[in-house]
Structure 1
Amino acid sequence: MTAPHPTPRPTYDLVLAAFCALLLISNVSATKLIEFGPSVEVGGFPVLPIITDGGAFLFPLTYVLGDVLAEVYGLAKARRAIWTGFVMAALMSLTFAVVAAAPPASDWPNNDAWNAVLGFVPRIVLASLAGYLAGQFLNAVVLVKIREWFGPGRLWVRLVGSTVVGEFADTLVFCLIAFGPLGAFLGGGSLDWPTLANYTLVGFVYKVLVEVIFLPVTYRVIAWIRKREGLSSPTRVEAPVAG
């Protein structure tokens, strides 16, 4: 007698694909630092301009999708998505490194420009992967643990609480590796400590605010996916599912 096939989860695959796509786009976008506002200091600490990077536009949405995965499908499926994103980002970084090392065509004039932008990606991806693993796993675990401790109510507490913990770890690790002393050790530039503190704090606060702003959307997405998948609780799919 053959074993029954697992129930297909087509919506999970779509969320997983979006999760990985947002991660990869953000890793490349994060190679550009951007700033908004005039130069303002308070007690020697730069309050303005606001300093962030191009990854800030989409990367917070990976935490929104991470919350959806953990809340709807449970920790096992969320963990699978996190590792899938990790492998894809590592593959992207390796590919860029190989391309950067390959000799350019004699009549192609853009090699220096390409290396100046995408040659910066491996260090950014290393920082992103380290922060990503710490942040996403903490985000998923905290969300599930809050549900276990306080029950299925107060979804907003789980979504915001898990994001605060996950984004803090993610942002701190990323900033220290990408633009802190570790970044300089790995062959890139580093920011001075006041600017690095500004960059880290702004990134953390901004990402948490995105989670809060997207709460109504997250609620509706979770409800829609549960209805589409026929799920009432993530515990129904908490056990590992083949395929």
Structure 2
Amino acid sequence: MFENLTKTELYAILTGVFTASLIVSNIIAGKTFDFFSFTLPCGVIIFPIIYIVNDVLAEVYGYAKARRVILLGFFMNMIAVICYNITIWLPAPVFFENSQAFSIVLGSTLRLLVASFIAYLVGSLVNAKTMVYLKKWDEKKLFFRCIISTLFGEGLDAMLFIIIGFYGTMPLEALLMMIVAQALFKTVYEIIVYPVTKRVIASINELPEI
């Protein structure tokens, strides 16, 4: 699958995929959608990819390198948000008719940004740390490591993002259902694509280091 690449080269590619997916997820996270009577933030569409890459990084490269990518993603997303707000602030020419729509899509409220940043950092780091800890405990149970780490990471991510971002804007029951639905949705997603995750990890482990 990754012929002619080294682990170092692939680490750079995975870093790019992780960071780009994170930025996209935070752009679309401000909208929610109905899924079989559950309300979910649209960020769930791409966010599972982030956790799959997170699992691959932690499993193959270790916690230190996974944390480096997580922090890089955090700072790149912060730069993107700063650029969005500068762009919104700059005066548009009279013929540009989409300023309001542009601001609505990219001008997330401070509350949602704080919720997203905190949830991302805590969830991603817990996911990576759990993967590494479980690997020390038993190196053979990859499926168990991937699912349990995602359940913990996604659970914390969903809880923090939804409570910080939406508490007080909807009934408490709907808030709790949203947290459970989001965490389960992403975990089930990873279970479904686990064969891909397993294949990717196995292929990377066969590569030369440099």
Amino acid at match of 1:35: D
Higher helix residue share: 2
The answer to whether 1:17 aligns with 2:16 is: yes
Q: How far off its partner does 1:8 sit?
A: 7.1
Q: Say whether residues 1:62 and 2:38 are aligned partners.
A: no
Following superposition, the deviation at residue 112 of structure 1 comes to 1.6
Structure 1 residues 12-65: Cα deviation after superposition (integer angstroms, max 9, x where no partner) = 01111111111111111112111134xxxxxxxxxxx22112211110110110
Distance in 2 separating the partners of 1:8 and 1:64: 17
**In 1, distance between residues paired with 2:208 and 2:66?**
16
Contact map agreement 2:147 2:191 (CA 8 A) in 1: yes
Q: Show the counterpart of 1:238.
A: none
Alignment of 1:1-243 (within 5 A): 9-37=8-36, 49-120=37-108, 123-150=111-138, 152-181=139-168, 190-230=169-209
Measured in 1, the distance between the counterparts of 2:123 and 2:21 equals 15
- Matches of 2:118 and 2:79 in 1, distance apart? 15
Alpha-carbon RMSD across the aligned residues, in angstroms, is: 1.8
Unmatched 5+ stretches in structure 1: 1-6, 38-48, 182-189, 232-243
Residue 104 of structure 1, CA deviation: 2.3
- Which 5+ residue runs of structure 2 have no aligned equivalent? 1-5
TM-score (norm 1): 0.79
In structure 2, C-alpha distance between the alignment counterparts of 1:10 and 1:123, rounded to whole Å: 37
Shift of 1:143: 0.9
User: Which letter does structure 2 place at the counterpart of 1:103?
Assistant: P
TM-score (norm 2): 0.91
Number of aligned pairs?
A: 205
More strand by share: 1
Question: What is the CA–CA distance in structure 2 between the aligned matches of 1:221 and 1:121, rounded to whole Å?
Answer: 37
Structure 2 CA distance for aligned equivalents of residues 222 and 148 of structure 1: 17
**Structure 1 residue 217 displacement after superposition:** 0.7
Give the distance between the partners of 1:161 and 1:68, measured in 2 at CA: 14
Question: What is the CA–CA distance in structure 1 between the aligned matches of 2:54 and 2:31, rounded to whole Å?
Answer: 25
Q: Which structure has the larger Rg over C-alpha atoms?
A: 1
Letter in 1 for 2:59: E
Q: Provide the C-alpha distance between the structure 2 equivalents of 1:11 and 1:193, rounded to a whole number of angstroms.
A: 43
Q: CA deviation at 1:116?
A: 1.9
SS at match of 1:124: helix
Deviation at 1:68, TM superposition (A): 0.2
